[in-house]
């Protein structure tokens, strides 16, 4: 972590804010952690392991509340995680060149930004029978699982709107499914990263403490007192900054 261009206390303070905001809307924050670490100059090989670790912590704190309140549906989440867990491990084990890593991250952040600023109000309902739903869910699990392991984004920011668009779960059920999805895939991807010796937990201890405090306080406050749309647009500013930085990395440097 010595290659960060900002001092660790400043980075930890920023991550506290990010984890606080994300936890109020039931997400882990992997997309923003990954973007910020890339901006702050951390080696691309180390970024996924750090992001996955922080994702697990924040999402676990939020998932407990959703599951405790009865929004966790095994039948909803199971088809997604059956295929995503092994693909997350594979994605973490596959060595990506720096340019390809930054390109995939840039594209994923563009999708997140489009969802936040352009498609947040889309309410399309797709009608699928049970077999079609399971098959589609498993295919989505393959894609998001690989993405999770490869670049350290848990995938919940994509999965939640997919569930709502398909009409297979309510908003709270989708949030609970997204939280579980993030946890299991982050654990799978992190296990691979540990095997590759690409993460030093002691070096990121300040970030771990920061997201524990931010995630706990944010999940306690909940989205009832803060408009999720406002929080997402604020975080979207971080995403847009990450896209600009990555565009320079991929095409100009």
Cβ distance 166 to 126 under 8 Å?
yes
**Of 21, 92, 81, 13, residue with least CA distance to 51:** 92
What confidence tens digit (pLDDT) does each residue in 134-188 have? 898 899 999 999 988 888 887 877 887 788 777 777 777 887 888 888 888 889 9
Residues 6+ apart with CB under 8 A from 92: 48, 52, 149, 150, 188, 189, 190, 191, 192, 193, 196
pTM metric for this prediction: 0.79
Question: By three-state DSSP, how is residue 156 classified?
Answer: helix
CA dist., res. 228 & res. 242, Å (int): 21
Q: Both tokens of residue 128?
A: 């699928």
**Of 189, 207, 211, residue with least CA distance to 198:** 189
Cβ distance 87 to 141 under 8 Å?
yes
Give 247's pLDDT tier (boundaries 50, 70, 90).
confident
Instruction: Determine the pLDDT at residue 162.
Output: 81
**Of 139, 75, 122, 106, residue with least CA distance to 253:** 106
What confidence tens digit (pLDDT) does each residue in 80-131 have? 999 999 999 999 888 888 888 888 888 888 887 887 777 655 555 566 678 8
Task: Measure Cα distances from 164 to 121, 175, 226 in Å.
Answer: 11, 10, 21
What confidence tens digit (pLDDT) does each residue in 31-88 have? 788 888 888 888 888 888 888 898 888 888 777 777 777 777 788 889 999 999 999 9
Task: Measure Cα distances from 212 to 18, 86, 220, 242 in Å.
Answer: 11, 27, 12, 24
Q: What is the total residue count of the chain?
A: 253
Q: Both tokens of residue 174?
A: 């989708």
């Amino acid at each position: 972590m010595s290659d960060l261009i900002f001092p660790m206390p400043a980075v930890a303070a920023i991550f506290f804010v990010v984890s606080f905001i994300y936890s109020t809307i039931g997400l882990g924050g992997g997309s923003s952690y990954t973007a910020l670490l890339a901006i702050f100059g951390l080696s691309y090989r180390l970024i996924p392991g750090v992001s996955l670790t922080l994702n697990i912590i924040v999402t676990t704190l939020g998932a407990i509340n959703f599951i405790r309140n009865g929004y966790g549906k095994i039948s909803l989440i199971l088809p997604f995680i059956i295929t995503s867990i092994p693909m997350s491990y594979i994605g973490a084990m596959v060595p990506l060149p720096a340019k390809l890593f930054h390109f995939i991250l840039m594209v994923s952040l563009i999708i997140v930004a489009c969802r936040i600023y352009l498609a947040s109000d889309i309410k399309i309902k797709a009608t699928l029978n049970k077999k079609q739903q399971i098959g589609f869910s498993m295919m989505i699990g393959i894609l998001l699982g690989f993405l999770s392991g490869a670049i350290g984004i848990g995938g919940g920011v994509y999965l939640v709107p997919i569930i709502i668009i398909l009409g297979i779960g309510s908003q709270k059920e989708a949030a609970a499914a997204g939280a579980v999805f993030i946890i299991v895939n982050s654990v799978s991807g992190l296990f691979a990263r540990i095997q590759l010796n690409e993460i030093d937990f002691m070096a990121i201890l300040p970030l771990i403490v920061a997201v524990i405090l931010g995630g706990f306080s944010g999940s306690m406050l909940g989205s009832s007192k803060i408009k999720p749309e406002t929080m997402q647009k604020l975080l979207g500013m971080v995403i847009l900054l990450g896209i600009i930085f990555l565009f320079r990395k991929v095409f100009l440097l």
